[in-house]
Structure 1
Amino acid sequence: MQKETENWYTAWFDTPFYHILYKDRDYQEAGLFMNNLTAFLNLSKGAEILDLACGKGRHSNYLNKLGFEVTGVDLSPSSIKFAKQFENETLHFEVHDMCLPFPKKFDAVFNLFTSFGYFETEFDNVRTIKSIKAELKQDGFGVIDFLNATYVKKHLVPVETKEVDGITFYIKRFIKDNYIYKDIRFRYNHEDFFFTEKVKALTLSDFKAYFDEVGVTLKNCFGNYNLDEFNEENSQRLILIFN
């Protein structure tokens, strides 16, 4: 159960239930995105990539199999413990807070699948981008793959019930104070659980303001994993490439 004093992502991401609920994510689509993105950035074999907020490391693994040297970092100790079983000479995992600069520079830093906008303050959003800037080599690229808040607001599903591995998850979505909320309730082993996901409904304009403050330049903006042009009304994703 999430405690009032915990950040929601610290509590929720470090439970096995988070991974159960999202186990059906589209791995093929994720692979397509990694192929398209690394090709677009023209990353050579052996290029060094930081996978920021890597979870259990599935995308780090995929990138490593493409021939890149990958470091995956995440705030969740249990996720990193799981990911470490896949380590090799060119794939490493560490517990790390993405608000702080990792002590190494990379050809690319990837922050994928809406792993941004969790924080309560603008200060933490800005210092995360500052950290990405500090982690890039001179000609390196930062990538933030975020939701398109305009599209999400238009297509929000308020109530959903989802059964996975014998657990029935009751999901309620709503928008409050410019945050997109997802309340998740379920019962497991005769115990009731409740967690909340909360992501700030950041727009392209918000990110441009962050980039201006930090001193990085937006190079490209895409609206899906095929890297088609971003359209605020119709694109499902907001994919930003900067350096």
Structure 2
Amino acid sequence: MSDLPNPKSQIKNPESQNWFESWFDTPYYHILYKDRDYTEAQLFMDNITNYLNLPEEAKILDLACGKGRHSIYLNQLGFDVTGADLSENSIAEAKKSENERLHFVVHDMRKPCDEKYDAILNLFTSFGYFENDADNLTTLKAIQESLTEYGFAVIDFMNVHQVIANLVAEEVKTVDGIDFKIKRFHIDGYIYKEIDFEDKGQQFHFTEKVRALTLEDFENLMEEAGIYLLDTFGDYKLKKFHKSESERLIMVFK
């Protein structure tokens, strides 16, 4: 693996050492994950917006929105939506779908937003990427500062216990003629995914690295941030969270 190109060499900002700034800005990220179940995702957004009982004119922030597919759906439900993501390429693509009540911005989730929102949604394990653990607390505080007085935030994270228990160590996933060789492992409090593939005669190597945060970890962070955890769910149908069984860890707070 040492002779493979280092993804950090592709990062636009040479001072940055974050894996996600290179990987998420490549077309290969979107190729690998193109078959995600968006019907299930839309069901989740139907359920969570109903649960939050948001007014029709509610302003929603889709934090770490990628190319904006879920922002677009939330907008179709009638909400005033802003999608925010660190990837300039993803936001450039998402902006093609903008309208009067749907906007996209390049934004670092560690920083509070200029506007206040009635709901902030951080979907599909888009948290815990940072090298510095303090950034997780900084992000929670930034979310808190970006909410209206009566606003709600939702973090949809993996259920670490279930993921680790069912970790597939190695697999090859072929998408669009590219063989993505994937290795997964859990070490030092992180879940890693090593991704190797070849395209057009060039070898590529990327690493995904997510902090293995449990509900207890989130509760400690939220207590430190002065955040009130209202409810937890274990799947997109909003069933009760069970540590050993649930697919997801969905937290609602204000």
Counterpart of 1:23 (choices 17, 28, 34) is 34
Alignment of 1:59 with 2:64, yes or no, is: no
Q: CA deviation at 1:122?
A: 1.9
Q: CA deviation at 1:6?
A: 3.2
Q: Where in structure 2 are the equivalents of 1:92-171 lying within 5 Å? A: 92-171=103-182
Alignment of 1:68 with 2:73, yes or no, is: no
Gaps in structure 1 of 5+ consecutive residues: none
Counterpart of 2:211 (choices 194, 200, 204) is 200
Secondary structure of the residue aligned to 1:219 is: strand
* TM-score for the superposition, normalised by structure 2: 0.94
Alignment of 1:36 with 2:42, yes or no, is: no
Structure 2 contact 18–131 (Cα < 8 Å) conserved:
no
Q: Measure the CA separation in 2 of the matches of 1:49 and 1:226.
A: 20
Q: Which runs of 4+ in 1 moved over 6 A?
A: none
Q: Measure the CA separation in 2 of the matches of 1:37 and 1:138.
A: 19
Q: CA RMSD in A?
A: 0.8
Gaps in structure 2 of 5+ consecutive residues: 10-15
1:112-146 deviations in Å (ceiling 9; x for gaps):
00000001122100010000000100110010000
Structure 2 contact 185–192 (Cα < 8 Å) conserved:
yes
Q: How many residues align?
A: 243
1:7-26 deviations in Å (ceiling 9; x for gaps):
11001000000000000000
Alignment match, 2:13: none
Q: Measure the CA separation in 2 of the matches of 1:18 and 1:231.
A: 31
Counterpart of 1:77 (choices 88, 97, 107) is 88
Q: Measure the CA separation in 2 of the matches of 1:116 and 1:39.
A: 23
Matched to 1:217, the amino acid is Y
Matched to 1:164, the amino acid is V
1:147-197 deviations in Å (ceiling 9; x for gaps):
000000100000010000111100000011010000000000000000000
Q: Measure the CA separation in 2 of the matches of 1:7 and 1:123.
A: 14
Counterpart of 2:237 (choices 194, 212, 226) is 226
Secondary structure of the residue aligned to 2:8 is: coil
Alignment of 1:10 with 2:15, yes or no, is: no
Counterpart of 1:180 (choices 191, 197, 204) is 191
Matched to 1:102, the amino acid is C
Secondary structure of the residue aligned to 1:233 is: coil
Q: Where in structure 2 are the equivalents of 1:207-218 lying within 5 Å? A: 207-218=218-229
Q: Measure the CA separation in 1 of the matches of 2:131 and 2:235.
A: 27
Matched to 1:95, the amino acid is V
